[in-house]
Structure 1
Amino acid sequence: MTGPRIDLNADLGESFGSWTLGDDDALLEVITSANVACGFHAGDPTVLRRTCARAAERGVVIGAQVGYRDLAGFGRRFIDVEPHDLTNDVLYQLGALEAFARVAGTQVRYVKPHGALYNAIVHHEAQAEAVAEAVRRYDPTLPVLGLPGSVWLAVAEGAGLTPVPEAFADRAYTPEGTLVLRREPDAVLHDPDDVAGRTVRIATRDEVVAADGSLVAVRAASVCVHGDSPGAVAMATAVRRGLEEAGVRVLPFVGGEAG
């Protein structure tokens, strides 16, 4: 079958102890790839095992969402960690999630940095190289998600990894194609119909309307909907419905033809 296709991913496994964040079970009915927390920015062993098991049951591809060691800040604070230490932190997280994926009868299929680490390595070459080194040493066949045009994806490709450009359904963009900082007004979008329309535009026209009204080229193989946003399930459902109604096939960017 020809025509546009795109993966739909969301951040899962971010609950911790008695604190629940997001509706992972409902999102697993909608998305095709799950960015599962690895315990550094969110998630605990019981949460990670349950998330991997339920993703495997639904045929959703599991990816490792690696981040800074920052539970208190939910991984959204930049940490000036030494590259060697960052490499080891990422390796630690990959190994932890892989154990739970294996117990669930599957495996980690890709890597996506989280939060402040994701944003830092758009430009921070040393940290980008540290993350790439961890993935290369762990399993160089694992694709890595990142912002199109980022230092991170360029470094990953240079390290022999497979870069996968990603867009964000519910985040505002700057005219330069980066994400508007969360502390800025209207950085996160909340209207399901608006977000669905933006996602269809990304999937079919490779462009998004920036915060200033300009058009920004965005070529993406995967689109993220945030699982911790208010109304996340309704938004993800609207996005998937909008894509399918526009004739876009919603399929994982790794593994088979089911989604």
Structure 2
Amino acid sequence: MMYIQLFAQYAGQYMKTKLQYRGDLIVGLLSDMMFQAVNLIFILVVFGHTQELKGWSREEVIFMYGFFLVPFALFSAFFNIWDFNDRYIVKGEMDRILTRPIHSLFQVVLERMELESLLGGLTGLIIMGYASLKLGLVFQWYDIPLFLVMVAGGALVYGGIFVSLASIGFWSDARSSIMPLMYNIGNYGRYPVNIYNKVIRFMLTWVLPFAFVGVYPASYFLRKSEWYAYAFFTPVMGLVFFTGAVLIWNQGVKRYRGAGN
């Protein structure tokens, strides 16, 4: 309950701060929408030269991209830790975090959240709705809770991977460019995994499971029965990877000796 109250207070203060600078907020939202539009245009350009992509139609890939945007929006809103190493380790702000009786990762999440990123989830829902109409998809009542569970699982997969990467800073205080690299690799999870070779497919499924953010859970709603086992495994992968990330983080915190050392 205390954590929920803290989150509500931080979120309230965050929105007050953002609304003080509405121009910056609007520009940021528009830039995010333009970035999403560019990715959508890329899909349309690809299908301008082919009718199918390894058995996936244009509308199915568009639906998949829309689904991907929803868990990615949750991740972007609450795990904005790209600069964790530089800000909290190199510059010593972790010392301040550890003086408070709240889990350190939760504090970092609160300090770095960007709630406006949740708009990307709305964009994803609109794209999914458009693709669903084109495909003539019919959904049942139980698809709603399944959608929420799979979205949460996908967000936790992303969060687990990047929290694990951030935790490396506890062992190495040197600035690293691995975060942007991993972000680029994560983009592969937007597209059907069977268009890649077996090595990349294995990597995206079991090593860096970005496929569980987009293609696998989306395949259930697209009624691709051959991918159902992977789709229903999405929340499990999310819990496993995020739990592992928290354990790595906790070990890193135990090792941390302060900015002066």
TM bin, normalised by shorter chain, reads under 0.3
Q: Quick check: which one's helix share is greater?
A: 2
User: Highest CA radius of gyration, 1 or 2?
Assistant: 2
- Give the structure, 1 or 2, with the largest relative contact order (CA under 8 Å, sep 6 or more): 2
Q: Could you say which structure has the higher strand fraction? A: 1
TM-score under structure 2 normalisation? 0.27
